[in-house]
């Protein structure tokens, strides 16, 4: 099924018939938060890094890029070589581009100022998970890059910048991800809907293939690591039982899909409808996923696509972060499913919506 609009389909197969990411950004510049062009260049820088990361991932197994580096990151996770490559390429692209004054990465203990001379004319801060789900690279499964963009207030100085940029997700000006799957897709929002671009490897351009994405409300998929079920609260277990109940009229039953790569699970559920969950567990009492560069950007995207994201008790985008690597429980996906999860977790079973 094609997602391109009828105008885009006028001459299938020709470059005139499709829009590149760069054309799209330039065309819509007036709707972006900065009219200077700096914001367009920032998105271009991220997309260039994505192409380089993609190039490395596609040669995994041929080049010596799979496996571990022998080091651990700040979160005690063993780093993969591709984690390191992705982190380096994003930092390099944003540093070279010059539009970004501060970055925060899953792979780095602290934020990194990119304008050591204190030149804050261009005041973007970018948080990213360079290679989410990287344990999947050794087994040839899909992975992704996630990014979140904020603008800094006018009066910020270099020292204040981390505190100032640890802002609720509702203040993001852009967010997106790159899914390195059977094709490579760049999906992003600037608060005016969600658009998806597929990399044409022949010409090296991201082309608009999924304009104005909306998450279906269908009870299609649920994604959770159910191996942890003994750690789940009784309320969450009741919710899962309810979720798996067959519709007595249609016989329809929800399907389970869990890749263990958040970007891939999120992307599939965005296209099909569904719910991704990573609750608090004994091993991860505050949840596993990180607020600033995993939950917040995906929450911004899902809300822009008509869905919701919650801790189970609170909207993700309203959380006030207190550190770069803060974790949060996460329930994200189609609105009726997130609402149902919240109703169960909060003991409000009378509020469970009828599912489509």
134 binding ligand AHM? (CB under 6 A): yes
Which ranges of the chain does DSSP label H, i.e. alpha helix? 21-27, 38-58, 81-97, 161-165, 234-243, 262-272, 296-304, 335-345
Looking at the Cβ atoms of 83 and 303, the one nearer to ligand AHM is 83
Tell me phi and psi for residue 22, to 5 degrees: -65, -45
Q: Is the Cβ of residue 99 or residue 107 nearer to Mg ion in the bound state?
A: 107
Q: Which is nearer to ligand AHM, 101 or 309 (CB)?
A: 309
83 versus 122: smaller Cβ distance to ligand AHM: 83
What sign does the CA torsion over 268, 269, 270, 276 have?
Answer: negative
H/E stretch holding 179: strand 174-180
Decide which of ligand AHM, Mg ion, none touches 69; Cβ closer than 5 to 8 Å per partner kind: none
User: How many residues at the interface with ligand AHM, by CB under 6 A?
Assistant: 11
8-state DSSP, 123: -
Place of tokens 């996630």: 146
Q: How far is the CB of 333 from ligand AHM (least distance, A)?
A: 13
Q: Binding ligand AHM by CB under 6 A: which of 87, 132, 303, 342?
A: 132
As a whole number of Å, the CA-based R_g of the chain is: 20
Nearest-angstrom CA–CA distance, 192 and 57: 31
Q: Which does 109 bind (CB under 5 to 8 A by kind): ligand AHM, Mg ion, none?
A: none
Task: Identify which of residues 17 and 69 has a Cβ nearer to ligand AHM in the complex.
Answer: 69
Output phi, psi for 17, to 5 deg: -85, -5
Element (H, E) at 223: strand 221-223
Using the rule CB under 6 A, which residue among 288, 295, 316, 332 binds ligand AHM? Answer: 288
Instruction: Determine the interface stretch with ligand AHM among 58-66, 109-117, 259-267, 306-314 (rule: CB under 6 A).
Output: 259-267
Residue showing the smallest CB distance to Mg ion in the complex: 132
The answer to whether the CB of 165 falls within 8 A of the CB of 309 is: no
Nearest approach in angstroms of CB 271 to ligand AHM is 17
Binder of ligand AHM out of 34, 115, 170, 225 (CB under 6 A): 225
Position among 67, 153, 260, 353 found at the interface with ligand AHM (CB under 6 A):
260
Nearer to Mg ion, 89 or 129 (CB): 129
Question: What is the three-class DSSP state of 125?
Answer: strand
Which of 3, 38, 35 minimizes the C-alpha distance to 19?
A: 3
Q: Which is nearer to Mg ion, 73 or 308 (CB)?
A: 73
- Rule CB under 6 A: which of 159-218 touch ligand AHM? none
Binding site for Mg ion (CB under 5 A): 129, 132
Could you tell me the sign of the dihedral formed by the alpha carbons of 279, 285, 286, 289, in that order?
Answer: negative
Residues that bind ligand AHM (CB under 6 A): 77, 106, 129, 132-134, 225, 260-262, 288
């Amino acid at each position: 099924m094609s997602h391109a609009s009828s105008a885009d389909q006028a001459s299938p197969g020709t470059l005139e018939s499709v829009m590149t990411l760069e054309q799209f950004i330039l065309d819509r510049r007036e709707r972006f938060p900065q009219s200077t062009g700096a914001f367009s260049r920032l998105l271009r820088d991220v997309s260039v890094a994505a192409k380089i990361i993609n190039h490395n991932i596609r040669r995994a197994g041929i080049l010596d890029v799979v496996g571990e580096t022998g080091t651990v990151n700040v979160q005690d996770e063993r780093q993969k070589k591709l984690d390191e490559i992705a982190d380096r390429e994003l930092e390099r692209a944003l540093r070279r581009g010059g539009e970004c004054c501060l970055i925060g990465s899953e792979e780095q203990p602290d934020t990194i100022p990119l304008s050591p001379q204190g030149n804050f004319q261009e005041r973007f801060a970018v948080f990213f998970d360079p290679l989410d789900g990287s344990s999947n690279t050794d087994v040839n499964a899909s992975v992704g890059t996630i990014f979140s963009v904020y603008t800094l207030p006018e009066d910020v100085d270099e020292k204040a910048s981390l505190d100032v940029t640890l802002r609720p997700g509702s203040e993001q000006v852009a967010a997106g991800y790159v899914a390195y799957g059977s094709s490579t897709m760049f999906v992003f929002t600037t608060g005016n809907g969600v658009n998806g671009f597929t990399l044409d490897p022949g010409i090296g351009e991201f082309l608009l293939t999924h304009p104005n994405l909306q998450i279906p409300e269908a009870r299609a998929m649920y994604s959770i690591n159910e191996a942890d079920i003994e750690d789940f609260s009784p309320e969450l277990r009741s919710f899962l039982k309810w979720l798996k109940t067959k519709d007595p009229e249609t016989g329809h039953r929800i399907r389970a899909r869990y890749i263990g790569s958040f970007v891939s699970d999120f992307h599939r559920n965005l296209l099909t409808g569904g719910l991704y969950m990573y609750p608090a567990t004994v091993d991860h009492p505050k949840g596993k996923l990180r607020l600033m560069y995993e939950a917040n950007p995906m929450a911004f995207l899902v809300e822009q696509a008509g869905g919701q994201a919650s801790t189970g008790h609170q909207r993700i985008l309203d959380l006030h972060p207190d550190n770069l690597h803060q974790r949060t429980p996460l329930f994200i996906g189609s609105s009726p499913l997130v609402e149902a999860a919240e109703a169960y977790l909060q003991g409000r079973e009378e509020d469970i919506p009828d599912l489509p």
